[in-house]
Amino acid sequence: MSAVKVALQHAQKNGRRKTSEAMSVEVSPDSKCPICLDGFHNVSYLDRCLHKFCFRCILEWSKNKAECPLCKQPFNTIYHSIKSEQDFQKYELKQQVENSSFGYFEGVRFRYRTTLTGVHRQMRGRTSPPPDNGVMFEASAHPPFQRQDRYIRRMMARLAARRRAESEGRTVNNVREQEMIGIIGGSGLDDPDILEGRTERYVDTPYGKPSDALILGKIKNVECVLLARHGRQHTIMPSNVNYRANIWALREEGCTHLLVTTACGSLREEIQPGDIVIIDQFIDRTTKRHQTLYDGQPSSPPGVCHIPMAEPFCSRTREVLVEVARSLGVKCHHRGTMLTIEGPRFSSRAESLMFRQWGADVINMTTVPEVVLAKEAGLCYASIAMATDYDCWKEHEEAVCVDNVLKTMKENANKASSILLTAIPHISQVDWTQTIRTLKSMAQSSVMLPKH
């Protein structure tokens, strides 16, 4: 993403009021719209890359292809008439399922008649944007999915941070992405008491409702969101967890990182019950779960996503967890391959022995598709796995059962929570800007959009 240079425009001495055209873009140093090559009229920004255009120009452009003319990143929303972090208007594009010029604004479906832009304006001797006329409105029984206000506020905060950086003489490249930590708690590891000043928020997503309410709060002054994977009453079995809704809700809330906890069985002698494993690979043995956010439905993002999975987990986030565990004196295995089964039953002995031969180190029922969806969402995802048993491969050892799992979790849950509570402030002290941008760029470039 090109760096966006931001400068506060002071009021003129002749008393003219301050205007929202207070920001300029590195790619247009002469302060002209890159589309019409004229001065900005109703300055607007794209939600993904923050490149700046005339609102009418980029609106007309989006009818043909909803991607930035400068960096080619797809966008869904245009923010315009920007005066402050709390004073702006939002235009949300309709997902184009057919060749049409329809869009949505404030829940109303509408279409603009063809207007002159760019070269055609110059050919006819016009330099100003088209007038605000020729609008045809139609009622719509299906208003678009409304993104969470927190996402909008965070995007506007990025613009405000860039303004401050420029006014203080700092380079815009030094403006950091603001971290928000999502925590997905597994069985027995979803205690909301770890959050300070917590509030609850029930949300909906294009994929339905998440497992439970999002619990917002802070851990050592770092913004966090907690979600119980199986519901706070543990009523959702692994196959029925709405993984897509969970990931979507946390991303829309503004999370940049996901730290998750999970109970697992050990497939290795050296990984003893009570040990922590910071897993780095997985083997998928699930059969009934949605594995992508891009499922072709009208309410889902368009296209097909072929996300790379060579490195499923965020290596930098894993490194933080490993170092924190070592500093706390917690026995921690710094890598391991998780095998995820469908469940809810445990493995047969033959299966358990086969999984060992495959090279798996631990086994659970929830890592997949959660890690896959987090990768599609461009999130820094890392998992703290706690071994509770030896599954059923080990001779002369009691086979896994619910009572033993719960007993081990109760005795060792403090290990996972102490790693979380210590790691989160460490994460907030690291500059994640490039890591986050790399993950988002990978996610975006992995999508094959439909041809028009």
Q: Is the pLDDT of residue 257 over 80?
A: yes
**Average of pLDDT values for 388-393?**
96
**Average of pLDDT values for 158-168?**
61
> Any binding-site annotation on 204?
no
Residue extents of the structural domains in the chain = 1-147, 176-448
Q: Is the pLDDT of residue 126 over 90?
A: no
Backbone angles phi, psi at 112, to 5 degrees: -100, 145
- Report the distance separating Cα 416 and Cα 374, nearest Å: 21
Q: Is 87 a catalytic residue?
A: no
Question: In CATH, which of 3.40.50.10090, 3.40.50.1580, 3.40.50.300, 3.30.200.20 is domain 176-448?
Answer: 3.40.50.1580
Would you place residue 241 in the very low, low, confident or very high pLDDT band (cuts 50, 70, 90)? very high
Q: How does the average pLDDT of the chain come out, rounded?
A: 81
E-only strand ranges, 241-292: 257-266, 276-277, 281-285
29-38, 132-141, 417-426, range with greatest mean pLDDT: 417-426
Q: Which of 19-33, 130-144, 208-222, 255-269 has the lowest mean pLDDT?
A: 130-144
**Average of pLDDT values for 404-430?**
92
pTM: 0.67
> Any binding-site annotation on 300?
no
Collapsed DSSP state (helix, strand, coil) of residue 59: helix
> Any binding-site annotation on 391?
yes
- Report the distance separating Cα 45 and Cα 181, nearest Å: 26
Q: Is 389 a catalytic residue?
A: yes
Strand partners, 105: 108
- Report the distance separating Cα 47 and Cα 76, nearest Å: 7
Q: Which of 284, 389, 403, 431 is catalytic?
A: 389
> Any binding-site annotation on 389?
yes
Structure tokens at 35: 């589309």
Residue entry with tokens 């304006």: 121
Q: Is the pLDDT of residue 144 over 50?
A: no
Q: Which of 51-60, 126-135, 205-214 has the lowest mean pLDDT?
A: 126-135
pLDDT of res. 409:
86
Give the residue among 138, 224, 135 at the shortest CA–CA distance from 417. Answer: 224
> Any binding-site annotation on 366?
yes
> Any binding-site annotation on 20?
no
* DSSP-H helix ranges across 32-125: 55-64, 118-123
**Average of pLDDT values for 396-413?**
88
Give the residue among 194, 195, 250 at the shortest CA–CA distance from 218. Answer: 195
Q: Which of 212, 280, 361, 391 is catalytic?
A: 391
Q: Is the pLDDT of residue 228 over 70?
A: yes
- Report the distance separating Cα 320 and Cα 430, nearest Å: 10
> Any binding-site annotation on 381?
no
CATH of domain 1-147: 3.30.40.10
